[in-house]
Amino acid sequence: MTLEQFFQQNPRCALAFSGGVDSAFLLWAGLRAGAEVRPCFVKTPFQPRFELEDARRLCGQLGVELTVLEVDILSDEAVTSNPPDRCYHCKRRLFSALKEYAASEGYSLLLDGTNASDEAGDRPGMRALSELEVRSPLRECGLTKERIRALSRQAGLFTWDKPSYACLATRVPNRRAITREDLERVERGEEALARLGFRDFRLRLTPGGCKVQALEGQMPLVFDSREDILAALSPLFSEITLDLRPRVPVG
């Protein structure tokens, strides 16, 4: 089945829209196929500001209105206690809210951007999507991340080379309680590193502060920018370390 065939069979649907590579391409493909697709962004402290900005920018370019739903995810102890299956509890909460909204607007079908490169074993949240009967057209149609990037580039979507991004909660070690303060510190720290020219990196919390994970090709930038990194992160973290093992990019 092709995406065009999928949307011919499902011409009216809501889409969990993050502004990332996958959901951006899925939105474009649905609109191009003539379907009525309602993009919905779930706003929580787990999403950095730039994600919402990108989502709005993409929707503006495609001429479709973006719906923004706010969910108080920090009120859910099953999520904030940060167990190994936190992603399941988080996805269950967020997509339940999406399904409730979609139903209230007359949309019986909810989509997400999971693609054919996403392995269920690596994505504990996929169990929640299955339970809630959320469909993943990119996965169903066999579209891999590499193919989606290529097609997005052909379509002129600015998201085509956007690095894959995991939510801010992934920066907190399992079983360490997730707090708004920690999320805000990580977001501010990552914004500072992005301004210094870093791309597709991570800033992870450690017991004494934070750890920077950079791509192999950007390791020279780490050492060249050492003083700037310290100046940017020292107000936020008492201890700043570097993972000497280069970060392996995902997707």
Q: For residue 74, give the CATH number of its domain.
A: 3.40.50.620
Residue 57 lies in a domain: yes
Q: 22 and 125: one domain?
A: yes
| Number of domains observed in the structure of the chain | 2
Q: 147 and 198: one domain?
A: no
Q: 55 and 86: one domain?
A: yes
Q: What is the pLDDT of residues 49-71, one digit of tens each?
A: 999 999 999 999 999 999 999 99
Q: What is the pLDDT of residue 164?
A: 87
Q: 199 and 75: one domain?
A: no
Nearest one of 128, 123, 116, 161 to 20, comparing CA atoms: 161
Q: 24 and 95: one domain?
A: yes
Q: 93 and 214: one domain?
A: no
Q: What is the pLDDT of residue 118?
A: 80
d(CA 160, CA 148): 8
Residue 70 lies in a domain: yes
Of 161, 196, 217, the last residue of a domain is 161
CB count in 10 Å sphere of residue 124: 16
Which residue range(s) make up the domain with 28? 3-161
Residue 184 lies in a domain: yes
Q: 155 and 197: one domain?
A: no
Q: 185 and 148: one domain?
A: no
Q: What is the pLDDT of residue 126?
A: 85
Q: 58 and 10: one domain?
A: yes
Residue 250 lies in a domain: no
Of 128, 161, 194, the last residue of a domain is 161
Residue 247 lies in a domain: no
Q: What is the pLDDT of residues 162-187, one digit of tens each?
A: 998 889 999 999 999 999 999 999 99
Q: How far does the chain reach from its first CA to its final CA, in angstroms?
A: 23
Q: What is the pLDDT of residue 117?
A: 87
CB count in 10 Å sphere of residue 215: 17
CA angle 37, 41, 43 (to 5 degrees): 165
Q: 45 and 78: one domain?
A: yes
Residue 172 lies in a domain: no
Which pLDDT tens digits describe the chain residue by residue (251 residues)? 899 999 999 999 999 999 999 999 999 999 999 999 999 999 999 999 999 999 999 999 999 999 999 999 999 999 999 999 999 999 999 999 999 999 999 999 999 999 998 875 556 778 899 999 999 999 999 999 999 999 999 999 999 999 988 899 999 999 999 999 999 999 999 999 999 999 999 999 999 999 999 999 999 999 999 999 999 999 999 999 999 999 988 76
Residue 249 lies in a domain: no
Of 161, 195, 220, the last residue of a domain is 161
CB count in 10 Å sphere of residue 30: 27
* Beta strands 36-43; 209-213: pairing state: unpaired
Residue 171 lies in a domain: no
Q: 109 and 187: one domain?
A: no
Q: 10 and 130: one domain?
A: yes
